[in-house]
Structure formats: C-alpha cells, structure tokens
C-alpha cells in the first residue's frame, strides 16, 4: 500500500483546517471564553446565518470539535480527494468540495426551519463532513467499482458500497434528530449533482470559456460590420475589394487567399 500524493488543493485545504484547529486550541489555553465565542461565530447556526452572519455557510467547515474528528476527516479528505484531484484536476475538486459544503449548510438551514424531528434553528453544526460526503459520493459516481480498504477492518470493498453504508448510517442518525447528519446528506446530494452535471473543467472554467467565446464572437461581429462598410465605401471610390466571412481582407493579386489582420 502507498499513500496518495499530498499536493495541490487538497494539501492547502488540509493545512487550512489544521491551522484553524490548532489556532483555536492555543487560543483556548490563553482565553477559553474568546476561543469559544470565536468558534461559535464561525460555526453554522441557521438562525444566526439568516440574521446576518453569512460567512458561516463556509467557515463552519473549518471548525472541528476534537482531535479524532479532525484526524479522520482530514485523512478521508486526503485519501479520496487526492485521487479526484490527480484525475480531474484541482479546480474541479475544489468546486466539488465547496459546492458540497455550501449545499450541506443550505440543507441544514432549510430543514432546521421545518422543525421536523424536533429540530430548531438555534442548533449549531461544525465540521467538514458535508464537504467530505460530497467528495465521497462523487468518487462513488465516477469510480464506483474502485476497491477501498474498509478501515479499521482488514477487508476491501467497492467504493459505491462503502458510500452506501455511510449514507445509511447518516440516515439512521438523522432519524434521531441529528442536524449534522442532515447536513451530511445534503452535502452528499450536492456532490452527486456536481459529479453528474459539472463540466470537465468545472463551472468556473466553463463560465470563463463561455465568456471568452462570447467576447471573441462580439469582436468578430464588429470586424465584419466594419469590413462591410469599408467595402461599400471603396466601391463608391471605384475600387472593388473583398473580405472573407471573418472580416479579413482577401488579396486579389495572389492565387491563394492571404489575409491581412
């Protein structure tokens, strides 16, 4: 067995989580009340989010409640996220993760206000589980037959079956009134949608490509209009000139078409 590469976006994400965790840990030793207040403002509380603390929809994913929580979360993110990043690229993986994080938060907020399962908007959630579930589900969608080690058991299982087990466990905890499990399922749902419908370069890459295509089409249209006007003007001067469909000048003195940009 070999460890996956620890580079790129996944490395920066793991490092950011560890920095926040140990910074709050050290702050807690110096000023427990300050550390608790800061962690509370960075964690996600549906009521607080809808009353102005909009940053919580992302920052909650960097707050972890204990050493085991962050240990297993970061190991999971490293092992699965690195595989996706090496296969699909850093941009795609980053978008997948944060779409899942935000989707998990929105799901938790919406469900908390329905008051089902005795849930209330003043409950607080924290941790990167929503984003990790999105990464897991995307991995299962794209590489479902890839075998994984079922830690800590010495057995291997296909990714799609392992993710199904995690989802069933989350459903069981959800039925006991766990808002964090609902958020995890929301992250899994958004991860599934992203894996199914996101372009190969990610939505940001696709959007920038669309923007440059539209910009180039606009400039080509302007050049064609200018070329048409110039043809008419030169015709009035007794000279016949021609431009191609892209507005480039056609040299009549040469057998092949030579264009002057």
Q: Where are the domains of the chain?
A: 8-198, 206-260
Rounded to an integer, what is the distance from CA 122 to the centroid of its chain? 27
pLDDT tens per residue across span 159-178: 888 888 888 988 888 888 88
| CA quadruple 104, 106, 108, 114: dihedral sign | negative
Give yes or no for residue 257 having a pLDDT over 50.
no
* Helix, coil or strand: residue 238: coil
186-198 mean pLDDT: 93
Q: Which fold has domain 8-198?
A: Rhomboid-like fold (1.20.1540)
Give yes or no for residue 207 having a pLDDT over 60.
no
Residue with the two structure tokens 């006007």: 229
What's residue 212's pLDDT? 57
Q: Are 107 and 189 contacting, i.e. CB atoms less than 8 angstroms apart?
A: yes
What's residue 100's pLDDT? 96
How many residues are recorded in the chain? 261
Highest-confidence range of 41-50, 80-89, 146-155, 236-245, by mean pLDDT? 41-50
pLDDT tens per residue across span 64-113: 988 999 999 999 899 899 999 999 999 999 999 999 999 999 999 999 99
9-35 mean pLDDT: 95
Q: Are 48 and 109 contacting, i.e. CB atoms less than 8 angstroms apart?
A: no
250 phi/psi in degrees, rounded to 5? -100, 115
What's residue 180's pLDDT? 92
Two tokens, residue 122 = 């003043």
* Spatial CB neighbours of 42, under 8 Å, sequence gap ≥ 6: 55, 56, 59, 60, 62, 63, 126
Give the CA radius of gyration of the chain.
Answer: 27
pTM of the model as a whole: 0.77
What's residue 205's pLDDT? 57
């Amino acid at each position: 067995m070999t460890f996956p590469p620890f580079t790129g976006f996944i490395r920066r994400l793991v490092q950011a989580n560890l920095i926040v965790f140990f910074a709050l840990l050290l702050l807690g030793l110096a000023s427990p009340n300050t550390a608790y207040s800061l962690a509370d403002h960075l964690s996600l509380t549906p009521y607080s989010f809808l009353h102005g603390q909009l940053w919580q929809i992302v920052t909650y994913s960097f707050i972890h409640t204990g050493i085991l929580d962050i240990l297993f979360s970061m190991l999971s993110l490293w092992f699965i996220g690195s595989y996706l990043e090496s296969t699909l690229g850093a941009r795609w993986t980053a978008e997948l993760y944060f779409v899942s994080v935000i989707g998990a938060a929105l799901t938790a907020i919406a469900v908390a206000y329905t008051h089902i399962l005795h849930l209330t908007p003043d409950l607080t959630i924290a941790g990167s589980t929503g984003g990790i579930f999105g990464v897991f589900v995307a991995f299962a969608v794209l590489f479902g037959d890839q075998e994984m080690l079922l830690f800590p058991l010495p057995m291997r299982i296909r990714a799609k079956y392992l993710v199904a087990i995690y989802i069933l466990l989350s459903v069981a905890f959800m039925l006991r009134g766990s808002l964090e499990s609902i958020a995890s399922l929301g992250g899994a749902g958004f991860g599934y949608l992203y894996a199914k419908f996101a372009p190969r370069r990610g939505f940001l890459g696709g959007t920038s490509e669309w923007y440059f295509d539209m910009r180039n089409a606009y400039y080509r249209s302007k050049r064609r209009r200018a070329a048409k006007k110039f043809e008419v003007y030169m015709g009035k001067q007794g000279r016949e000139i021609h431009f191609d469909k892209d507005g480039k000048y056609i040299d009549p003195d040469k057998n092949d078409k030579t264009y002057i940009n």
